[in-house]
Amino acid sequence: MRPIDHAQQALITAIVRGEYPVGTALPGERDLAAQLGVTRPTLREALRRLEADGWLIIQHGKSTLVRNYLHEGGLNVLNGIVQYSRDLPPDFVPNLLQVRLDLAPSYTRLAIMNAPHVLISVLKAHKTLPDTPHAYAHYDWQLHHTLTVQSGNPIYALILNGFADFYEYLAETHYFQHDVARQASAAFYAELLSHVQAGDVDEAAALTQRVMAASITLWEMIHQTS
């Protein structure tokens, strides 16, 4: 692992585990670099990334502080939480699905109004999807990404991209493993396609709303015991 990635990994891990609690000061850069086994310039590059993501508050002359990242951080902190914490917070995925439920009907509606032909070609592709978790996870991400981009409101895509690093991974390993999940999504893709072809925007948005809500229920059903 590259020095800068090692430094970033070590810092986020330490922060997430509370070894550097929120609000406290990090060791000085010279000490910290020595502890992590990297040099100061390398450490500083890592610190700049963490600062940009909302993990840290860096101020000239003062100690670098651990930010209250869950309250004041940026969307990128989710990547760190997924990648570097031992196990996900229990409600992580339901929280994610809840936000998707809020947004998906809107960006789906807009995308259909703006670029129905694009969506039709994307949605037709689902018919040739192999019935594997990997294929479904990849396709599902692509679909939502296309929808947000085609919505014409860039903010939808920018928000969705905050989930880019783990959406496919979590979907493949924890959701589309289950036959019912793949079947539910396949039905959704087919039905959405027919609504788009029929030009029925309202029905498409309503369908999306129902399916996004159902996916939360489905997730919780799947994971009620495990």
What is the binding site for its own copies (CB under 8 A)? Answer: 41, 44-46, 48-49, 51-54, 70-78, 91, 95-96, 98-99, 102-103, 106, 149, 153-159, 161-162, 164
With CB under 5 to 8 Å by kind, the binding choice for 38 among DNA, its own copies, none is DNA
Q: Which alpha helices (DSSP H) does the chain contain, by range?
A: 3-16, 29-36, 40-53, 69-72, 77-84, 92-114, 116-124, 133-150, 154-161, 164-174, 179-198, 201-222
Q: Is 65 helix (H, G, I), strand (E, B) or coil?
A: strand
Least distance (Å) between residue 211 CB and its own copies: 16
Report whether 179 contacts 156 (CB < 8 A): no
Distance of CA 102 to the CA centre of its chain: 15
Q: How far is the CB of 15 from its own copies (least distance, A)?
A: 15
Contact partner, 29, from its own copies, DNA, none, Cβ < 5-8 Å per class: DNA
**Residue 57: helix, strand or coil by DSSP?**
strand
| 28 contact, one of DNA, its own copies, none, CB 5-8 Å limit per kind | DNA
Give the residues lining the site for DNA (CB under 7 A). Answer: 2-5, 26-31, 37-42, 44-45, 47, 58-64
